[in-house]
Structure 1
Amino acid sequence: MTDPKYGPRDPLSDEQVATAVAALRADWTVLNAEPMPAGSDIVYGVTARDAEDRRREAVLKCFRRDGPAEGRSPERFLVEVDLLELVERETDIPVPAVYGTYRSRDGLPAPAFLMERLPGEPPLGVAVDGRAAVAERLLRESGRHLARVHDLRSFDAFGDLVSGDGSPAVRDGRATWPDRLRDIVDDSLDGLVGTRFADLTGPLREYADGRFADLDLAADAALLHGDYRPGNLLADPGTGEPTAVLDWGAAQAGDPRYELAWAVREFSGRAPVGSAARERVREAFIDAYEEGREDGFERDAAFERRQSFYLAVTWLVECRWFDAWWGGADESAREARADRLRENVRNLR
């Protein structure tokens, strides 16, 4: 649910890209291919010519077997295909069409799939002043889309989703949401050992233990996008209308309110709690989300306590993965964010 900065940018030769595309669309001829921003998978923007001499803009996505992300597998990678097809079939959320998929090919990274490259730009900085109408439309449409995602499927367990015979399924699931959330928290706390935030382990564990004891965290297992943020959207820069919701490979079954906490954090540009920018984004996003859900939430004191805990969990997860997520950032920005995370933890109640 963040912006990873890892992985080689250009691991494939031109011949390998052309061969992979041919395995997916035999009637296409690759004209040009460029590596796209590095992440947990191998991704190329491809320009091709089809059998009817039409120019095609597409994205080739290949599984990176030596990638740095934990819990990655071919089945986890291919759940994105299942979800793109499901969302395109059953909603009005803009997602790329899938042109082809293969599970194995000699000499090529596998599995892989080819999808449509939709227009638009990453809508970063939506909380800034000066473009209120554009930001408002982006926030409201994004909130409505997230509500639609959460209503799309339910599951009998909580955990990461994998491809299961063309339909997403939970892998190694937990029976209850508190158990699943406890795994997220404990894994993150354990991962702080040896990091710059190792000294926060004790205070964060004490805080989390108190919240697990005090809060009613019962929830139904809904479909979560898993990384819903402006960096995984495309939008019309003039109007703010979303043109694509991308990167479904981190999908999971969980509490919609948990993803809502992540989304508010990311769409507000990680603005401090209580700041005008964060509150403006939060109100617009959640209002639109509640309008879009078939079954909304009662925004009472219990809801706010739960959301505060979920926000704290986002900080804990970020501390755990700080070097991966911020490794490519400017040093001053990286250190400012580290200071902000420490301040956030100091202010936990």
Structure 2
Amino acid sequence: MSTATAVDPGTCDALRRVLAPLGTLVRAERLTGGTFATTYRAHLGDGTRVVVKTAPTDATRLMTYEHDLVRTEARVYALAAGHPGVRTPALLATDLTRTVLPGDVVVAAHLPGVPWTEAGLAPDDARTARLRRELGAVMAHLHAVDGPAFGYLGAVEAVGGPADPPGTRLHGTTWPEAFGRVVGAILADAQAWDVPVPADAVRAALAAHHDALAAVTRPVLVHGDLWPGNVFVDPATGALTGVIDAERALWADPLLELVGADPWTLGPPSADVLAGYAGVAPLDTTSDAARTRMLLYRLHTALVLRVEGAPRGYAPDAAAWCRRTAERTWTWAFDELAAIG
């Protein structure tokens, strides 16, 4: 659950400068609960509330794919402005100079409601079913946005540019190429941080199922992290009010979205989510190729979970949970891939 803490005077002064084009800062509080960026809720003189997100400043504690992610969030919100069904907050301002605050800054509208994780909705509540269907529809609207190539947004946009910062090669002209680079970067991070992962088995699975990945020929906008903590809801009705934290977005296979939204459930996607998606667009989730890709994506999410605790310095209990969950997930995924053949 997120909580709010006081903001020191120096940071308040910096926020005041960032927010000056939008209004006068009255007060701000830091929202805790996330594990990547630093987020503030700011109250302006006209009563408006906005959310200010700043990127981590210590690049040595980032995984390869995590460089410049706050810039990606700004890009997604700008893209979504032309697609109301995507339901992201309005992008209000950015500061990418890294001079006012030490990292990139994104200012977005404050969504009504609360995170799904704090809404008190039971799994069998009719409001929960409604929420899942609405989430499926949001996914379908996201996936109507086409991209120029496969991979992380920043990596794709950096192609052909003068710079080659960390993470810019996480792209490809085909989905097997891009996804292979994405997974390869995680395996390299695991080696760099001395985290044990089944690297050889993962590489073998990607090679064995190249054709299933190659069946994806259209790169679409995938949020990649639509778990309940990033979904805002009206707890009274179960209505979805918006989705946040799009910094991990990439041009990819839409099936990656289903795994990112429910990464630790071993089994098929939610029937309610699929029903909501089908109300907007068709999506194959039952063919052998589709099932194979979703299993490969579960390997990907398990690897991220297993590795990220090392650079972030997770506490022992959290690190142990991540290790157990990741190992359970990839063991199951390898078995399921073997069963498909």
Aligned to 2:164: none
The answer on whether the counterparts of 2:255 and 2:285 sit within 8 Å (CA) in structure 1 is no
**1:58 corresponding residue in structure 2:** 50
1:292 to 273, 280, 283: 280
Provide the C-alpha distance between the structure 1 equivalents of 2:82 and 2:92, rounded to a whole number of angstroms. 14
1:31 partnered with 2:23: no
Amino acid at match of 1:207: A
Q: Secondary structure at the match of 2:209?
A: helix
In the alignment, the residues of structure 1 paired with residue 229 and residue 15 of structure 2 have an alpha-carbon distance, to the nearest angstrom, of: 26
Flag structure 2 segments of 5+ consecutive residues without an equivalent: 160-167
Structure 1 distance, partners of 2:206, 2:241, is 38
Matching residue's letter, 2:187:
L
CA contact (8 A) 1:319 1:341 kept: no
Kindly state the Cα deviation for residue 299 of structure 1 after the two structures are TM-superposed.
3.3
1:28-66 deviation line (CA, Å, top 9, x unaligned): 3323211112433231111221xxxx2121111223332
Match of 2:217 among 219, 237, 243: 219
Contact 2:305 2:326 in 1 (8 A): no
What's the counterpart of residue 44 of structure 1? 40
* Residues matched between the structures, number: 323
8 Å CA contact 1:160–1:251 kept in 2: the answer is: yes
The one-letter amino acid of 1:160's match is Y
- Using the alignment, how far apart are the partners of 1:175 and 1:130 within structure 2? 40
1:242 equivalenced with 2:230 (yes/no) = no
Deviation (angstroms), 1:160: 1.2
Task: Find the residue that maps to 1:296 and give its secondary structure.
Answer: coil
The 1:128/1:343 distance shift into structure 2, 3 A limit, reads farther
**Aligned equivalent of 1:262:** 260
Which amino acid is 2:302 matched to? Answer: W
**What SS does the corresponding residue of 1:192 show, helix, strand or coil?**
helix
Residue 81 to residue 283, structure 1, CA distance change in 2 (3 Å): same
Q: Which moved more, 1:181-190 or 1:328-337?
A: 328-337
- Give the RMSD, CA atoms, in angstroms: 3.6
TM-score (norm. length: structure 2)? 0.79
Q: Residue in 1 aligned with 2:150?
A: 158
1:315 corresponds in structure 2 to 302
- The 1:84–1:301 alpha-carbon spacing in structure 2 relative to 1, beyond 3 Å, is same
Please tell me the residue identity of whatever aligns with 1:315: A
Partner of 2:14: 19
Q: Give distance in 1, aligned partners of 2:120 and 2:212.
A: 33
The amino acid of 1:146's aligned partner reads M
Distance 2:6 2:236 in 1: 35
Counterpart CA distance in 1 for 2:229 and 2:108 is: 18
Conserved in 2, the CA contact under 8 Å of 1:326 and 1:334? Answer: no
TM (norm. structure 1) is 0.77
CA distance 1:48–1:316, change in 2 (3 Å) = same
Q: 1:231 to 1:328 in 2, by over 3 A?
A: farther
User: Partners in 2 of 1:39 and 1:199 — Cα distance?
Assistant: 22
Q: CA deviation at 1:142?
A: 0.4
Deviation at 1:255, TM superposition (A): 1.3
1:327 counterpart = 2:323: no
Q: 1:230 deviation in Å?
A: 1.3
Matching residue of 1:303: 290
Compute the displacement of 1:13 (Å). Answer: 3.0
3-state secondary structure, aligned to 2:145: coil
Q: 1:193 to 1:237 in 2, by over 3 A?
A: same
Displacement of 1:287 in angstroms is 2.4
Equivalent in the alignment of 2:79: 86
1:127-159 superposed Cα distances (whole Å, 9 cap, x missing partner): 98564212101110001001100102332x211
- 5+ residue gaps, structure 1, are 274-278
Give the distance between the partners of 1:63 and 1:106, measured in 2 at CA: 13
Return the alpha-carbon distance in structure 2 between the equivalents of residues 203 and 60 of structure 1.
41
In the other structure, the counterpart of 2:162 is none
Does the 8 Å CA contact 2:89/2:111 hold for their aligned counterparts?
yes
* Aligned amino acid, residue 29 of structure 1: T
| 8 Å CA contact 1:217, 1:306 repeated in 2 | no
